[in-house]
Amino acid sequence: MKTTTVKRLRDTFLISSLLVSSMMLASPSQAEDAKPTRVRGAITAVEGNLLKIHSNRGEDLQVNLTSDTQVRGVTLAQVSDIKPGSYVGSAAIPQPDGTLKALEVHVFPPEMAGTGDGHRAFDLGKDSTMTNGSVGDLVTSNGRTITVNYKGGQKKIVIPDDVPIVNLVPADRSLLKPGVKVVLQAKKADNGALNALSISAGEHGVTPPM
């Protein structure tokens, strides 16, 4: 009896270990599946709550709008629209001196302050990052440099003269029409469909640079 009990305990422990191991192996792929997909492109058709989009990668995609999809407009801005206290986001690449060189800058409306606060990797270009935070210092002489403060850190970002600067503004679905350029985040459903979480759509022919 004692030998049988020990064997049962050993078998139970082995099965539990295998289950834990399989869960650990499954976790990375599950986390990857849960990660939102970013799509850049132009709307080719709108059919009710369905957007057809030709992506910058040459794909023809269908994206569903849901009751939770957030829509915002993208309008042209100037460096003068960036002021101390402005809440901004900037895709950028690191420089040898430790600063970041902006690839684009977008200025959030006050009600969106705090959106995506932080510094992280981004997919706009090789080694690109995204920094969202509040502008501290703003230097417009001898080049344009802003200090962006976020929770737990700070970055200095140099904005070249030819870098696009845009405002993010409140908008609704009436902005979503064929020909409009968009950048959107979508989550893949269990059936493989893409459901839009948020959409930034260019107004008056603007191409969202994010």
Stretch 82-101: mean pLDDT, rounded?
Answer: 96
The number of beta carbons lying within 10 Å of the beta carbon of residue 117 is: 16
* Distance from the Cα of residue 78 to its chain's centroid: 22
Q: What 8-state DSSP symbol labels residue 108?
A: P
The answer to whether residue 30 scores a pLDDT higher than 60 is no
Burial of 203 per CB tally in 10 Å (0-12, 13-18, 19+)? middle
**Sign of the torsion formed by the C-alpha atoms of 41, 43, 44 and 47:** positive
Quote the pLDDT of residue 179.
98
Q: Name residue 104's amino acid.
A: E
Quote the pLDDT of residue 139.
75
Stretch 92-111: mean pLDDT, rounded?
Answer: 96
To 10 degrees, the CA torsion angle through 128, 130, 135, 136?
Answer: -60
Both tokens assigned to 18: 């295998």
Task: Supply the mean pLDDT for the chain.
Answer: 86
Q: Give the global pTM.
A: 0.80
Query: Could you give the C-alpha distances from 198 to 7, 14, 144, 184, in angstroms and in order?
Result: 55, 45, 30, 6
Quote the pLDDT of residue 28.
44
